Amino acid sequence: MPKIDLTLVTARTGSSYPAPYDAMMAGRSTQAVGDAGGLTQFGVNLTTLEPNATSSLRHWHPGEDEFVIVTQGTVTLVDDHGETELTAGECAAFPAGEPNGHHFINKTKQKASFIAIGTRSEDALCTYSDVDMKVETIRGVDTFTRRDGSDL
């Protein structure tokens, strides 16, 4: 049966970011629901943000699309255009190659959740807007460096 039992999907907390950026993701958890359903062509994650939690550092992908739909509560989208509140049922799209650094913050006193859908590539690049950092993924392995490629 294609139905995914969310109670059986492990929620990952923390971050793969190097210190000190990893600590900035406190209060965020993610469930890889696409993986749980056996999907291989695109990723689908259910992210939950506790009050005052942030989804990620502001980032953009030169080669990967992202789509987000809020499923619970209210999040604030912070991107190069400013701040925009999104409530349950509202969506945002981030086309590949558009250098619009974005992330979500839960500025409310209630939990908020959203589903993020994106291109799944073994080789990818992600650039962070507010810090001198990028991550290059090669064959599924992440390497964090400064934007010029030098060690952090």
Across the range 23-36, mean pLDDT stands at: 97
Burial of 75 per CB tally in 10 Å (0-12, 13-18, 19+): buried
Domain that residue 22 falls in: 6-121
Across the range 25-37, mean pLDDT stands at: 97
What total of structural domains would you count in the chain?
1
Q: What is the pLDDT of residues 71-89, one digit of tens each?
A: 999 999 999 999 999 999 9
Decide if pLDDT at 111 tops 80.
Answer: yes
Decide if pLDDT at 61 tops 70.
Answer: yes
pTM given for the model? 0.95
- Position 140 in a domain: no
d(CA 152, CA 145): 5
Q: Specify whether the CB–CB gap between 104 and 55 falls below 8 A.
A: yes
- Position 144 in a domain: no
Decide if pLDDT at 140 tops 90.
Answer: no
- Position 129 in a domain: no
- Position 30 in a domain: yes
Decide if pLDDT at 1 tops 80.
Answer: no
pLDDT at 122: 87
